[in-house]
Amino acid sequence: MTNVAAQREETAFCRHCGGEVVGNSAYCCSGCEAAHRLIGKAGLAAYYQRRILDAGQRRPRPEDLHQIGDLAAWVRDLDAETAELTLMVDGLHCGACVWLIEQYLLQQPGVVNARVSLTTRRLTLRWEKDICQPEALAEGVQALGYRLVPLDPSCLVAKDEAEVKALLRCLAVAGFAAGNIMLLSVSVWLGADPWTRDLLHWVSAMIAIPAIAYAGRPFFASAWNALKARRTNMDVPISLAIILAPSLSLHETFTGGQHAYFDSAVTLLFFLLIGRFLDTRARRAARATAEQLLALNAEAATAIEADGTLRDVQPRQLAVGQRVLVVAGARIPADGKVLSGSSRIDVQVISGESNPIDAGLGTEVFAGTLNIEGPLTILVEKVGEATLLADIIRLMEAAEARRGRFVRIAEKVARYYSPVVHLTALTTFLAWVFIGGLAWQNALLIAIAVLIITCPCALALAVPAVQVVASQRLLKAGVLLKSADALERLRSVDHVLLDKTGTLTVGRPVLTSCSEPARLSKAAAIASGSRHPLAAALRRAAGLVMTLDGVREIPGQGLEWEGPDGIWRLGSTRFTGQRDNGSAAMTLYLLDPQGHATVFEFTDPLRDDAAEIVAALEAIGPVEIWSGDRAPTVEACAEAVGIADWHAQALPTDKVARLEALRTDGRHVLMIGDGINDAPALRAAAVSMAPASGAEIAQNAADLVFQGDHLAPVLIALNTAKTADRLVRQNLGISLAYNLAAVPLAILGLVTPLIAALAMSSSSIVVVLNALRAGRVKGSRAS
């Protein structure tokens, strides 16, 4: 193993929580890194013990526990020792909420893994069944101030709609109150006598106080939940500002003061609600694709009972081996195979292919795809979280859970927000009173403006918003982003290494020649356990064959089986000790124990857009082919796509050595491969991609997985990475420029609370709208 691969193995587990690490970091996320460095090893145990005790002492409300229901129906056994549960989390507002829930759960005995997705608001929890119970873990999360409900995709849409309607009601109340109080304030501004002024102030108070109490609930509820859990969030200082402004005005009204600020207080709340409403709508647009994917499998399924009767059930209630009827126009509820019927299936959500595929007897079908033409009877093979659709959603959530460099920068700044902003507001108030000689009422107004304008909403949204939109854009193009920082690494690519079979070619070779047809069945039987494209081609050509036990696959070389008469080998010329026949066709040799070889020749067509995409990649940097195939085959492929630098009969160690040499030269290499033999190289590269048709180990090793029969998603991913990097830098610039310009003005008393609310809301909206541009990347077609 090379130094690169060894380094990745050494950092396989987080130093802080022990979770899985992706990349060369010593921590699984920025939260763990910050906690480890901030708390230190000595205080770590005491810190978490205190947090766990705090959570255990704060029992959740009975009505909240009732919402969870029976968790047993949602638990999925992974094996004899571990189980998995997926729930929806209500009350997530930012990355700090995600960090708190994950870190609390990871410190519980028996918890193997805990991941929270801010995009889909899903908590995926794995634990050892003999050590802990899910009910206790769920109660602990609720004690932190969050509500858990069973995963129901329809709840995602319903929750969003309810939130938007509630914000609109609050917005309407605040707008009505602001308009009426403004009308009353006109007389005061025009110089009303003291008696009339006091009367108008009291009328304004009677309108403003109930309006603020009702319309401020979105901020008050969030802040209260945070304070109950002994933490803070961005809504705490905002709520403080909303409360202080009318409180100051009420004091002035009681004492007969000349100035009251009910009009400013309610108008301030009105504009804060406008910002929250637009921000909510923008976030909904950013996560729309993830929620749509979850909703794809929410339709009822029609199960066929043993006696032939039909029964409507939820997809999660289906069992492996059950038969399902899927009528035309319905979505397929589970992964499986067609038992009867013929139709056409829209698989765009799974593969990115825009053209429907034909489906008949034995065709593999996947949950979430759409049956277009005729009824199908399907044998269920995978359900629920085991389906390909669930895998896609998990990959998206895993990408979001792993923070990149820019996310870590933004989080480090936002982490110290709460103490710094409160200290700044207090210092401003005291300075104006004791140094500036200003009345405490006016100094308090300046402090309120500081509380509002320093809210880092724009900074907190700067990076995650771009990442979410970019990952949705890639998903629509058939690219699954497994690592969030892969986009950052893709942007720096200046060299590309390609495998041939299954990468430049479609990976579905066809047997064209066999020197001894009688041995085809033997070769197919040996190849029955391999996912190599040539092994699959042998199986297709041979039809039904018996599988053989004890077959050993040697990556990059072939298969070996020890039978009753000795050792059989199926593989390359080097592996079987044969002389290359010079044919440009792909060749496999079957070597029997007596040393007699049978030759199998295959052709594998190039992907339709291979030459076009290679030409586009060469504009980025040098492109090389490193393949384990024979020289004539690799040469013919390289010539067809226009690549001058090609290497044949390359072992996995050869590919890794080349990547190591390029890394030493300062190159940032993109590796694209699909086979087991490509996995070490995919791990060693700066960034890597694998086709979804490739070996599972290759997909696990890659940073991105692309679907379909074209290479266009590779180019789209590169273009998306460059666009996302540009937008992230723009968003960080916008956020920092806003804070650097607005905060000093507020401290100097040049910004009123009303203007501060407008500025804060506008900065957040601008950042989110700018992030949405990541969904409009120009590039090659995705199909």
Collect contacts of 367-370 with beta carbons under 8 A, ≥24 apart: 367/296, 367/297, 367/315, 367/331, 367/332, 367/333, 367/334, 367/335, 368/293, 368/296, 368/297, 368/331, 368/332, 369/331, 369/332, 369/345, 370/329, 370/330, 370/331, 370/332, 370/345, 370/346
Query: Hey, which residues does 149 pair with through a beta bridge?
Result: 88
Q: Which two tokens stand for residue 536?
A: 């699959």
Burial 135-159 (b: 16+ CB within 10 A, else e): eebbbbbbbbbbbbbbbebebbbeb
Residue with tokens 């004890």: 550
Query: Hey, which residues does 567 pair with through a beta bridge?
Result: 562
Task: Using alpha carbons, list the distances in angstroms from residue 426 to 376, 417, 447, 449.
Answer: 69, 14, 7, 12
**Apex 574 CA angle, 594 and 695, nearest 5:** 105
DSSP 295: H
Collect contacts of 645-650 with beta carbons under 8 A, ≥24 apart: 649/572, 649/574, 650/556, 650/626
User: Do the bridges between strand 645-647 and strand 623-626 make them parallel or antiparallel, or are there none, so unpaired?
Assistant: parallel
User: Do the bridges between strand 111-116 and strand 122-128 make them parallel or antiparallel, or are there none, so unpaired?
Assistant: antiparallel
Concerning whether 263 is annotated as a catalytic residue, the answer is no
Q: What region does 34 belong to: left with phi over 0, alpha with psi -120 to 50, or beta? A: alpha
* Closest by Cα among 96, 102, 87, 218 to 155: 87
- Strand, coil or helix: 116: strand
For 346, phi then psi, to 5°, come to -85, 110
User: Helices in 585-651 by DSSP H: which ranges?
Assistant: 610-618, 631-641
Q: How far apart are the C-alpha atoms of 71 and 86, rounded to whole Å?
A: 10
Count other Cβ atoms within 10 Å, centred on residue 498: 27
Strand order in the sheet with 566-571: 510-514, 597-603, 586-591, 566-571, 558-563, 552-554
User: Looking at 263, 499, 678, 703, which residue is catalytic?
Assistant: 499
Count other Cβ atoms within 10 Å, centred on residue 702: 28
User: Helices in 337-485 by DSSP H: which ranges?
Assistant: 348-351, 388-401, 405-415, 417-430, 440-453, 457-462, 464-476
Q: How far apart are the C-alpha atoms of 417 and 615, rounded to whole Å?
A: 48
Contacts of 3 (CB under 8 A, 6+ apart): 660
Q: What region does 40 belong to: left with phi over 0, alpha with psi -120 to 50, or beta? A: left
Q: How far apart are the C-alpha atoms of 738 and 730, rounded to whole Å?
A: 12
User: Do the bridges between strand 669-672 and strand 687-691 make them parallel or antiparallel, or are there none, so unpaired?
Assistant: parallel
- 216 and 225 Cβ atoms separated by less than 8 Å: no
Count other Cβ atoms within 10 Å, centred on residue 254: 12
Helix (H) or strand (E) holding 202: helix 194-215
Q: How far apart are the C-alpha atoms of 355 and 388, rounded to whole Å?
A: 19
Query: Hey, which residues does 87 pair with through a beta bridge?
Result: 123, 150
Q: What region does 55 belong to: left with phi over 0, alpha with psi -120 to 50, or beta? A: alpha
Catalytic residues: 499
